[in-house]
């Protein structure tokens, strides 16, 4: 058990996000982000998480916030590795994207994570796609799969969609874990 706790503490220190003292106090460290193609990405303005009819909004989320890190990693995983590109969808075809990005109750029974950010247009030579918001969502017609939508920064009504087979449960569990730990729900 002591080895497990020590390993978790070392991982937290190595990540630069936080550490726990022997008195149980939680300390956050501000560590500069490593320089990579993603360091040029737009600052995240808001994180919207919906489970069922309940929508939660996190303004200016902390960069090391677990669900945000997981969502950004999943986006990269989808378009670089295993996601099947389904084409471009108009925002009207995804009604949950049309609701106001405010905390509260939604009329739609949906599950998604939306990263709201300023448009990112890569400079010439940067191996990255232009984008604005990113949404990871579940589709009731394909409940075992997860979908990633990437908003076109030039035409905000268009979203490039990727389907990632067999990751629907993972998305649900990631949302459940985060909401259970940080909202008590």
Q: What angle do CA 100, 142, 164 make, to 5 degrees?
A: 85
Give, in order, the Cα–Cα distances in Å from 60 to each of 64, 70, 176: 12, 16, 21
Mean pLDDT of the 14-22 span: 47
Distance between CA atoms of residues 170 and 167, nearest Å: 5
Higher pLDDT pick, 129 / 185: 129
Taking residue 76's Cβ as centre, other Cβ atoms within 10 Å add up to 15
Length in residues, the chain: 185
pLDDT range class, residue 29, cuts 50, 70, 90: very low
- Report pLDDT for 25: 44
- Report the distance separating Cα 105 and Cα 103, nearest Å: 7
For the chain, percent of residues with pLDDT exceeding 70: 77
Contact 22, 93 (CB under 8 A): no
pLDDT of 53-66, one tens digit each? 999 999 988 888 88
What pLDDT is recorded for position 33?
A: 41
pLDDT tens column, 92-105:
999 889 888 889 99
| Average pLDDT over every residue of 162-175 | 96
Whole-prediction pTM: 0.76
Does 75 score more than 60 pLDDT?
yes
Kindly provide the b/e burial profile for residues 106-141, where b requires at least 16 CB atoms within 10 angstroms of the residue's own CB: beeebbbbbbbbeebeeeeeeebeebbbbbbbbeee
Question: 36 burial class (0-12, 13-18, 19+ CB within 10 angstroms)?
Answer: exposed
Judged against a pLDDT cut of 70, whether residue 115 lies above it is answered with: yes
Res 42: pLDDT: 63
Q: Residue 1: pLDDT band by 50, 70, 90 thresholds?
A: low
User: Measured at the alpha carbon of residue 135, what is the angle toward residues 132 and 138, in degrees to the nearest 5?
Assistant: 160
């Amino acid at each position: 058990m002591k080895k497990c706790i020590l390993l978790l503490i070392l991982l937290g220190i190595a990540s630069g996000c936080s550490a726990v003292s022997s008195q149980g106090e939680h300390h956050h460290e501000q560590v500069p982000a490593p320089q990579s193609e993603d360091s040029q990405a737009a600052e995240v303005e808001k994180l919207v998480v919906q489970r069922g009819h309940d929508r939660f909004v996190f303004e200016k989320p902390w960069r090391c916030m677990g669900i945000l890190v997981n969502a950004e990693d999943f986006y990269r995983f989808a378009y670089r590795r295993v996601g099947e590109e389904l084409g471009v969808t108009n925002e009207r075809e995804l009604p949950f994207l049309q609701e106001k990005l405010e905390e509260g109750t939604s009329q739609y029974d949906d599950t998604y994570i939306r990263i709201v950010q300023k448009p990112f247009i890569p400079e010439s030579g940067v191996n990255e796609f232009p984008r604005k918001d990113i949404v990871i969502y579940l589709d009731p017609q394909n409940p075992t799969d997860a979908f990633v939508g990437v908003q076109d920064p030039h035409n905000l009504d268009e979203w490039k969609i990727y389907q990632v087979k067999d990751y629907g449960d993972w998305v649900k569990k990631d949302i459940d874990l985060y909401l259970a730990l940080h909202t008590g729900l």
